[in-house]
A = this chain, B = another copy of it.
Amino acid sequence: MKSPTGSLTELEGAVLVEVLHRGMTTAFKVRRAFQQSMSSEWSGSAGAVNPAIRRLEAAGLLAIGAPEGARGTRQLSITPSGEARLQEWSLDAERACNIGIDPFRIRAGLWAMLPESRRSALFDNLRRTTEAQLARLPTYGKDRDATERVAIGIVHDTLIMRLAWLDGFENGRKA
């Protein structure tokens, strides 16, 4: 269990964002936020989030309150040092501009090799799946504040881009 003396992992950053954002939360709520997140980047498993929280505490970036109530709930809050580190993390343009792991893109080359009939069936399927995700967005963003909706907006843009790509491909753009 190394304390994050180097730069924060994406999960650690996301945890700090969540805590900063909520002001006060619990480990459970952070996990649930990841579980319910539109993107299935992380499972929000206790086995990932709890160790990450302990690492952040060990590095002095997160304060963990004493267990309260019968459930032993522990309040999390970000420390000034944590805020500073988070900002530094967020301002790293090199990292922020990385093209992440995109399952859609990785597979797209293979789709292009499919015979027309199979491809158009698949593309219909992909369109339906994407539109279902789009339809979920308003509900999902409902009780989030403006800051969180910024990220949701990018998810929205990404889904729209995928739909446009699917349409554009079939209209022979391809290049």
Tell me if A120 is interfacial: C-beta within 8 Å of chain B: no
Name the distance in Å between A82's Cβ and chain B's nearest Cβ: 13
Residue of B nearest to A128 (CB): B93
Q: How many copies does the complex hold?
A: 2
Name the distance in Å between A18's Cβ and chain B's nearest Cβ: 10
Asked, given contacts A105-B154, A154-B105, A157-B165, whether A110 binds B97 with beta carbons under 8 Å apart, the answer is: no
Q: Can you list 16 residue pairs at the A/B interface with Cβ under 8 Å?
A: A10-B101, A10-B103, A39-B98, A40-B98, A86-B110, A95-B103, A96-B104, A98-B104, A108-B151, A112-B147, A146-B174, A149-B175, A153-B175, A154-B165, A157-B165, A161-B161
Number of interface residues of A (CB under 8 A): 60
A-to-B contact residues, CB < 8 Å = 10, 13-14, 17, 21, 38-41, 86-87, 89-91, 93-113, 122, 125-126, 128-130, 133, 146-151, 153-155, 157-159, 161-162, 164-165, 174-175
Name the distance in Å between A152's Cβ and chain B's nearest Cβ: 9
Residue of B nearest to A39 (CB): B99
Task: Select A106's contact among B17, B109, B153, beta carbons within 8 Å.
Answer: B17
Q: How far is the CA of A151 from the CA of B107 in the complex (A)?
A: 8
Contact B150 A174 (CB under 8 A): yes
Residue of B nearest to A149 (CB): B175
Contact B98 A107 (CB under 8 A): no
